[in-house]
Amino acid sequence: MYLVFSLIMFFIGGSMAMIIRAELFQPGLQFVDPQFYNSMVTVHALVMIFGAVMPAGVGLANWMIPIMIGAPDMALPRMNNMSFWIMPFAFALLLSTLFMDGGGPAGGWTMYPPLVLQTGKAFPFLIFAVHFLGISSIMGAINIIATVFNMRAPGMTLMRMPLFVWTWVITAFLLIASLPVLAGAVTMLLTDKYFGTSFFSAAGGGDPVLFQHIFWFFGHPEVYILALPAFGIISQIIPTFARKPLFGYASMVYATASIAILSFFVWAHHMFTVGLPINGELFFMYATMLIAVPTGVKVFNWIATMWKGAMTFEAPMLFALAFVVLFTIGGFSGLMLGITPVDFQYHDTYFVVAHFHYVLLTGAIFALMASAYYWLPKWTGNMYDEKLGKIHFWASAISANVLFFPQHFLGLAGMPRRIPDYSVQFADFNMISSLGGFAYGISQLLFVYIVVKCVLGGKKATGQVWDGARGLEWTLSSPPPYHSFSKPPKVTKALMEY
């Protein structure tokens, strides 16, 4: 359910991205008004973050965590049900604003006041949609924590849990800690607009920058809410196809936890240009650069896992390898952005756009694609079409780079983000980027075809599916029975090892 929903949202958000790239294909205004363009930029981000990547992560967690830890199902099924059904209504609220007078929210997904307070009738819909999505995610997170801490099979000690489970437990804590902060911030916006408060209005003694502090206190952990499950997925897939245990399991767990903790101390690197005192800027610069260390440890561990393995390159492995390279490139630009004095040039340009799309699209979404191919045979009992899967991979990997790599150059050359039209010196790279965008959009249709074909039939999969796979999920039949483990299995050290 979650996964189908997030795939639908992926295509809704994707079609907005297509509108954006179509408008930016050439200088001059051809298709949409600037106001509508801004609302596309805003809603694309909200749909992709809250509608595509987060539900996909929760969906994988709901399906795989019980199987991976030897439980019959999630701990709190009713809560799970509610957490899911809130989302279609939340997105109905959000997307309906596009058809209202004054159009959808157009102040950017970051909702900075005072601009966001100029939103027309869409404003309360935006706020309540964000509230509902927050509630839904918090319930999902509670469920995951309850499941993992109460329902592990005998012998499944914490330090034997698959890394995907570990990263999700940490993510769940991030969700619970950060989403209420967002809820507080948007509620303050609501009262500022309708009830005469002035939390964020300087004229009333408030501070517009306060919102940015609160928002990014949520916003930066949110980045890792999207990225940590992806780290978990990659840590499952690489050992499977390298036929070798994950290198440095314990340091992986510690690195994940330290990234999560550090993520609460770096929020102001999104706002270096607001005029912070120099000591504040230095603190956030140091903390931000520090995150490169545990992230680097993870990348080194993945490569050490490949080292001297016996690798094969099925679609999940291809996506996982592309993830390692492209996410690392996104990490490099992240390190550059973290250096405050230079960020004064990079900030709010296409360099930033390129950076977070490398981290989120070729990072988080590539990991989700990898996980889909990895577990599809387990879910459906049928093998997917490997040849088409490989075509999908190469098409996605090449077009995503054509799409986003030139945006680094655009940003360095001085093109700000969130503009519907640009000076003619930016024309060439924008055209290349748009062509990459269209190619990427079209190649994702192939993914839908592959999934549907796999669900309908295909070569029967064995329980083991991949010969290098280890862990409880592969001891079950494909597809697994309705209640995965009705009798808790006995987990021994040997089961998880090579």
Partner 1 sequence: MFLKKSMIRFLTKFSVVFASLFLLSSNLALAAWGLNMTQGVTPISQDVYNMHMTSLYVVTIIGILVFSVMFWSIFQHRKSKGVKPAKFSHSTTVEIIWTLIPFAIIVALAIPATKLLARMDDTSKSEITIKATGYQWKWKYDYIDEDITIYSNLAADSVDASQKNSGIDPKTADNYLRNTDTALVLPVGKKIRIMTTASDVIHAWWVPDLGWKRDAIPGFINDNWTVINKEGVYRGQCAEICGKGHGYMPIVVKAVPEKEYTAWVQETKVALNSKQDSGDKVLSMDDLKSKGAAVFKANCQACHQANGQGIKGVFPAIDGSPLANLKENIPAHIHQVIYGKGIMPAFGEQLSDTDIASVITFTRNNWGNKTGDIIQPKDVLASRKK
Rounded Cα distance between 223 and 240, Å, is 27
Pick from 428, 448, 462, 481: which binds partner 1 (CB under 8 A)?
A: 428
Does the annotation count 220 as an active-site position? yes
Name residues contacting partner 1, limited to 193-222 (CB under 8 A). Answer: 201-203, 207-209
Name residues contacting partner 1, limited to 352-381 (CB under 8 A). Answer: none
Cβ neighbours of residue 99 under 8 Å, at least 6 residues apart? Answer: none
Does the annotation count 73 as an active-site position? yes
Name residues contacting partner 1, limited to 310-339 (CB under 8 A). Answer: 310-313, 321, 324-325, 328-329, 332-333, 335-336, 339
Which residue of the set 298, 378, 408, 470 is catalytic? Answer: 298
Pick from 4, 82, 92, 342: which binds partner 1 (CB under 8 A)?
A: 342
Closer of 236 and 444 to partner 1 (Cβ): 236
Does the annotation count 192 as an active-site position? no
Name residues contacting partner 1, limited to 104-143 (CB under 8 A). Answer: 106-108, 112, 114-115, 118, 120-121
Name residues contacting partner 1, limited to 46-105 (CB under 8 A). Answer: 100-103
CB of 33 to partner 1, least distance (A): 6
Does the annotation count 486 as an active-site position? no
Closer of 115 and 388 to partner 1 (Cβ): 115
The amino acid present at 144, given as its one-letter code, is: I
Does the annotation count 198 as an active-site position? no
Which sign does the torsion angle of CA 423, 425, 429, 431 carry? Answer: positive
Does the annotation count 417 as an active-site position? yes
Pick from 4, 30, 462, 483: which binds partner 1 (CB under 8 A)?
A: 30
Q: Does the protein bind partner 1 through residue 247 (CB under 8 A)?
A: yes
Q: Does the protein bind partner 1 through residue 425 (CB under 8 A)?
A: yes
Which sign does the torsion angle of CA 345, 351, 352, 355 carry? Answer: negative
Closer of 139 and 317 to partner 1 (Cβ): 317
Q: Does the protein bind partner 1 through residue 453 (CB under 8 A)?
A: no
Tokens of 334: 């992240």
**In whole angstroms, how far apart are CA 380 and each of 108, 161, 453, 454, 460?**
39, 24, 11, 7, 9
Query: How many other C-beta atoms lie within 10 A of the C-beta of residue 5?
Result: 18
Q: How far apart are the first and last CA of the chain?
A: 34
Rounded Cα distance between 152 and 69, Å, is 5
Residue 11: Cβ-neighbour burial (10 angstroms; 0-12, 13-18, 19+): middle
Q: Which residue has the tokens 């790279």?
A: 429
Closer of 250 and 452 to partner 1 (Cβ): 250
Tokens of 315: 């679609």
Name residues contacting partner 1, limited to 287-306 (CB under 8 A). Answer: 289-290, 292-293, 296-297, 299-301, 303-304, 306
| Helix/strand/coil for 3 | helix
**In whole angstroms, how far apart are CA 160 and each of 71, 108, 170, 205, 223?**
15, 42, 15, 54, 27
Does the annotation count 256 as an active-site position? no
The H or E element containing residue 236 is: helix 208-242
